[in-house]
A = this chain, B = another copy of it.
Amino acid sequence: MSDTSWNDDPSRLLRVTDGFRLAEVDPGATPGYRDGKKSGENDLAHGTKQLDELQERLYAQSRVVPQSPSLLLVLQAMDTAGKGGIVRHVIGATDPQGVHLKAFKAPTEEERAHDFLWRVEKEVPGAGYIGVFDRSHYEDVLIGRVRSLAPPEEIERRYGAIVDFEKLLTDAGTRIVKVMLHISPDEQKKRLASRLDRPDKHWKYNPGDVDERKLWPDYMDAYQKVFERTSTPDAPWYVVPADRKWYARLAVQTLLIDALRDIDPQWPAADFDVEVEKARLAAT
């Protein structure tokens, strides 16, 4: 951290712990970072190399060592908060061969005929992969709760089911990093207005976004509940202020680098005799 402009550890600062109140988080702040956008972009470029190397090592290890770990990034946010930008600028800077990206949309009829975790279980990352969920099973306790898409007792059941499901994953070697990108209603208004102003951005606009926007306080309550019920030591939530895109990207990148450093993947030893192979190759 000494060669960056971080002056505190975002993995600690942004982590949801007991007594966390979403209402107290300032979406325009840049916790732990002493400089502005320009430094932030430099640090992001610098971090890209670290993330890239750690990702390659994670993948390499899994090719040789059984039951190797994986990493799962869960991204949740209100519309326009910048999930796409994270995928593009943070994840997109690593080798696509080591990434499993899944964007969860409104469930299909077949998916609705199964338990809410059914479609999610199929998309968990394999050993050595970085999995990215753009939206996730949390939709089923966010829009699910706000829009009453399931009875209250079913919503209640889901919090526990999520904790159990994520424990299965972490016990099997998946590190889980859950991120809520937190923007302010004013910032969302600006971003939606900008999409309406630009014909090349119209495709990103959906009239339903305004309907959801009107339910902002209900969504914030639903997020608060999610943090209280599903932030666990093994699968913690991080709330990342996201009114400044550069900060959100840098913070998420740093969370991923920290998680990978903690996993500490190693180049695997050869599972063949190197000298024998050199001789075999030389003979061709």
Contact = CB atoms under 8 A, between A and B. Distances in A.
A182 B101 CA distance: 30
Given A96-B88, A196-B277, A280-B210, A272 B205 contact: yes
Closest 4 CB pairs of A and B: A202-B270, A60-B203, A200-B267, A92-B96
A202 B272 CA distance: 9
Interface of A: 60-61, 63-64, 84, 87-88, 91-92, 94-97, 99, 101, 103, 134, 185, 189, 192-193, 196, 199-200, 202-205, 207, 210, 213-214, 267-270, 272, 274, 277-278, 280-281, 284
A58 B189 CA distance: 27
A101 B92 CA distance: 13
21 contacts: A60-B200, A60-B203, A60-B204, A87-B97, A88-B96, A88-B97, A92-B95, A92-B96, A96-B96, A185-B284, A189-B281, A189-B284, A193-B278, A196-B277, A196-B281, A199-B269, A202-B268, A205-B272, A207-B280, A210-B277, A210-B281
A268 B95 contact: no
Contacts of A203: 60-61, 63-64, 267-268, 270
A32 to B, nearest CB: 27
